[in-house]
A = this chain, B = another copy of it.
Amino acid sequence: MRRTVVIKIGGGAGIELAPVLAEIAGMVREGSSVVLVHGGSAELDALSHALGHPPQTITSASGHTSRRTDRRTLEMFEMAYCGKVNKQIVEHLQRGGVDAVGLSGIDGAIWRAERKGAIRAVEEGRTVMIRDDLSGRVTGVNATLLGSLLELGYMPVLTPPALAEGGVAVNVDADRAAAATAAALGADELLLLSNVPGVLRDPADPSSLIRSASEVGAEAVAAAAGGRMKNKVLAAEEALLGGVRRVVIGSANGATPVANARAGAGTVFEGAMA
């Protein structure tokens, strides 16, 4: 059987796409089925500032922060993620001989989502309820469409938003969407690549990297993972629970980030966790 690998590449500032895309082209040539998932937060931030609607953050009562996604932000989100970044990646892959097909989670309802209900947020010390936020979390994946595309020889390049009940597009976490995708496809591997080397016990110290999540255990990993890393660890655990054999949270930088991650550079999650 063909090996299926889902690779998520972050949308943070300073990530160079060319090396990752060259490695992916090599994997596809060698017969692997690859699905690429990407973000676009740095592009969205830049566009939001340029268009005079700067990024806003929601801080929940528990201290968790997320992007405030009103209708205008969703439009800019689609311009940055589905327009600029997605088509830039597809063009790059096509130039390298890979027949890439760029899709968002709303296309063919590839990612079904549950929209967040009212969010209890803290603004200037006061608790407020936000009811119109267009965000949610992926609850289902159209593996039939993705499987058909792979079968026909295409490489899906996926990006949020996802499709919530009533046909509403919502912002979802791309790491967890990638995890749901890997589980739905029965993927062998999920690589979550971004501008951090993995889960660090001390975010300021790269030598504090947790190399094997399975060895240190879920609690120690959760304790080390703050901020955006929390979602990556959640994604890794969701993928394992969904039957993915191996997940690596690793760096998107360097000449061969995919090979490095596959060789175990980063934080490796294997088998079911406690």
Q: Given A99-B109, A101-B108, A154-B108 in contact, is the A84-B91 Cβ separation under 8 Å?
A: no
Number of interface residues of A (CB under 8 A): 43
Residues 148-171 of A contacting B (Cβ, < 8 Å):
148, 152, 154, 161, 163, 166-169
| With A50-B51, A148-B152: A106-B82 Cβ-Cβ less than 8 Å | no
Q: Contact at B79–A168, with CB atoms within 8 Å? A: no
| Majority secondary structure of chain A interface residues (helix, strand, loop or mixed) | helix
The 8 A CB mask of A163-196 against B (1 = contact, 0 = none) is 1001111000000000000000000000000000
Q: In the complex, A84→B83 CA distance in Å?
A: 7
Is A230 close to B, CB under 8 A? no
Q: Does A262 contact B (CB under 8 A)?
A: no
* CB of A100 closer than 8 Å to a CB of B: yes
Copies of this chain = 2
Q: Is A73 an interface residue (CB 8 A)?
A: no
Question: CB distance A101 to B95 under 8 Å?
Answer: no
Q: Is A6 an interface residue (CB 8 A)?
A: no
A66-114 interface with B by 8 A CB criterion: 75, 78-84, 86-88, 90-92, 94-97, 99-104, 106-109
Q: Is the CB of B106 within 8 A of A87?
A: yes
User: Which one, B80, B96, B107, contacts A83 given CB within 8 A?
Assistant: B80
A139 CB, nearest partner CB in chain B, Å? 16
Picked from B50, B52, B78, B90, the residue with its CB within 8 Å of the CB of A106 is B90
Shortest 5 CB-CB contacts between residues of A and residues of B: A83-B83, A95-B167, A79-B83, A79-B79, A94-B167
* Complex contacts, A220 vs chain B, CB 8 Å: none
Give Cα distance in the complex from A148 to B153, angstroms: 12
- The distance in angstroms between the C-alpha atoms of A167 and B98, with both chains bound, is 10
A-B contact pairs, 18 of them (CB 8 A): A75-B84, A78-B87, A80-B83, A82-B83, A82-B87, A87-B104, A90-B104, A90-B106, A91-B163, A91-B169, A94-B106, A95-B167, A100-B108, A101-B103, A101-B107, A101-B108, A108-B154, A145-B152
